[in-house]
Chain A
Amino acid sequence: MIRIHNLTKRYEKLIAVDNLSLDIEQNEVLGLLGPNGAGKTTVIHMLATLLAPTSGTATVNGFDIHTDPEKVRSSIGIVFQVPSSDDLLTGYENLKLHTLLYGVAPEIREKRISDALDLVGLTDRKNDQVKKYSGGMRRRLEIARGLIHNPQVLFLDEPTLGLDPSSRETMWEYIKNLVRKEKLTIILTTHYMEEADTLCNRIAIIDKGKIIALDTPKKLKSMIGGDVVKLKLKTEGANIDNLNALPFVKKIDCVEGYVLLNVDDAKKNIPEILKHVEAESVESSSPTLNDVFLTLTGRSIKEQAEGGFMERYVQYDKH
């Protein structure tokens, strides 16, 4: 459905997307997971024909982004990282505007609009100006707008960035619902591990413009092997070589002042580990995608928003 071939975007000082190749099948929900500045938005912008790649190419729904940009645009719906509806118009008016821009036939326009509003639960607020919407409602309106012309492909760029935890979970429900009901191929970008884990069939972990791992959430986590035990040693730099000898310890990493062990059955084996090292604190967990990222890059994905859109909204408030 989407084929990305050696896609590269170079800015003066940095390479935002670095020779990236990726194939996405029909009806797949692919997550692009990576920290801020990894290049996720840049990939989406290039696929949506809003930004010209420095080199490389891609096809979306069989159309080349270089030679057939209008057909690509007709095939896709997109929810930008920052909501882009006109907040002086009502939710309904925003959707109406886009049915006209996408050439939706007059006889099905109203039905499309009301279906889309239903799907995202905004029917009762459709005649309110968007400036009166909450952050979560704005995002949902964007999704409705992205679906209004029945696209084959949907791009969701950080769909829950800047939302509070409960709006985020509501949003997840809407997205899951969407995946169930519509025949859609989705690329979703996020830097929230949990989001990628719950919503995506496959996850591409992206760092510094490159894909560093690509698999199902389950397989990615099993890459770590077993559970993760995180130790803070009493004396930093103490000798831990003797842990290597333990049969249930698969792997040892030292990251950010902690010792990370991949072990089989942490619950049972922690007492045994503590016989061999003096630890100030011990935590154990089943592997998360963050552990995967940590193992691959030696850094963790910081779960902080880069100035959520609400901040930007206040900053540029024109009313």
Chain B
Amino acid sequence: MSNMINTRIYFDKIYALWLREVKVFFREKSRLVASTFTPLLWLFVIGTGFGTSASIASHSIDYQKFIFPGIICMSVVFSSVFFGSYVIWDRKFDFLKSVMVAPVSRSTIFTGKTFGGMTNSLIQVGILLVVGIIIGVQFSPFALIQTIVIVLLLSFALTSLGLTLGSYMTSLEGFQMIVSFVVFPLFFLSGALFPIDRLPQWLSILTMIDPVTYSVDALRNIILGMGSHSLDLDLIILLLYTCALGTLGTYSFKRMKAV
């Protein structure tokens, strides 16, 4: 009985922290607009602009559709890593202190925040998927579910990464700078904008290290039916990254100073 109560209290805490993130996300309209606008800009300007010149050799496919999975991942990369900056906000406004002084363990705080970040990413991806249907990308309901799974895995991994960075930093400017060194390489090296089959070796190695590569590839497998690796391999590597970064994030939250 008391076990059941403790379990309920545990999930209540995560729910409370998650709900707060989601509410703040919807109330801060500028966040939602800005973070949805950028991927759309890429999809339409880069997608259309390069589409006229870039030849995706051997794949007879419209460039805009080709980068669509990459743009989904882009939106996840940006929103998830940037989500880490809200830890710094929370600390500046002392909100974080008010959570840490409650009988809530650090790993619970981490979990609640991560779920919040994942939800934010998922909402943005939802908007992009609707846009995708409008520009003529087709997917089955099963493909939709698979897409969501991949998006959640990637977003868990990268929200953990963002939260880890946020837990070590005290200034938003510092975070912004670090993020530029993390977000752009993660995105550009993932093959979101180009096929990764015939790259020079140095670039190929960097691409292989980047976790985003595997989510882009997985989504290409799922949505376009074309990928460089098998979907199983993509999934396994993503899972490994998810576990590793989740552990790192939990550890970082445990050692984060409260004041």
Task: Say if the beta carbon of B89 comes within 8 Å of chain A.
Answer: yes
Residues of chain B within 8 A of A87, CB atoms compared: 93
From known contacts A48-B101, A101-B13, infer whether A93 and B258 are also in contact, taking CB-CB under 8 Å.
Answer: no
CB B69 to nearest CB in A, in angstroms, measures: 33
Among residues of A, the one whose C-beta sits closest to the C-beta of B24 is A88
Docked complex Cα distance between A70 and B23 (Å):
27
B209 at interface by CB-CB < 8 Å: no
The winner among A51, A84, A316, A318 for most chain B CB atoms within 10 A is A84
A5 at the interface (CB under 8 A from B): no
Most chain-A CB neighbours within 10 Å: which of B20, B28, B92, B102?
B102
In whole Å, how far is B204's beta carbon from the nearest beta carbon of chain A?
42
Give Cα A25–Cα B103 distance, bound, in whole angstroms: 24
Residues of B with C-beta under 8 A to A223: none
Interface flags, A70-90, vs B, CB<8A=1, else 0: 110110101010111111110
A85 and B99 alpha carbons, distance in the complex (Å): 10
The closest CB in chain A to the CB of B27 belongs to A88
Chain B residues with Cβ below 8 Å from A84 are 93-95, 97-98
DSSP class of B's interface residues: helix, strand, loop or mixed?
helix
Does B62 make an interface contact (CB < 8 A)?
Answer: no
In A256-278, the 8 Å CB interface with B consists of none
Q: In this assembly, does A282 line the interface, its C-beta being within 8 Å of a C-beta of chain B? A: no
Q: What is the bound-complex CA distance between A87 and B103, given in angstroms?
A: 22
A65 to B12, CA, bound (A): 25
A103 touches B13 (CB 8 A): yes
How many A residues touch B, CB cutoff 8 Å?
32
| A102/B102 in contact, CB under 8 A | yes
CB contacts (< 8 Å) of A101 on chain B: these are 13, 16-17, 99, 102-104
On whether A103 and B12 interact (CB within 8 A), knowing A70-B103, A73-B103, A88-B28, the answer reads yes
Q: Which of B15, B92, B102, B259 contacts A98 (CB 8 A)?
A: B102
Contact A85 B98, CB 8 Å, known A103-B9, A318-B89: yes
- Number of B interface residues, CB 8 Å? 28
Kindly report which residue of chain B lies nearest to residue A96, judged by CB atoms: B16
Contact A89 B259 (CB under 8 A): no
Q: Which residues of A lie under 8 Å from residue B12 when comparing CB positions?
A: 100, 103
CB proximity to A under 8 Å, residues B6-44: 9, 12-13, 15-17, 19-20, 23-24, 27-28
A97–B258 touching, CB < 8 Å: no
Interface positions of A (Cβ within 8 A of B): 45, 48-51, 70-71, 73-74, 76, 78, 80, 82-89, 93, 96-98, 100-103, 129, 145, 316, 318
A sample of 27 inter-chain contacts (CB < 8 A) reads A48-B101, A50-B101, A70-B103, A78-B98, A78-B101, A80-B98, A82-B94, A83-B94, A84-B97, A85-B95, A86-B24, A86-B93, A86-B95, A88-B24, A89-B20, A89-B23, A97-B17, A97-B19, A97-B20, A98-B98, A100-B13, A101-B13, A101-B102, A101-B103, A102-B103, A103-B103, A145-B98
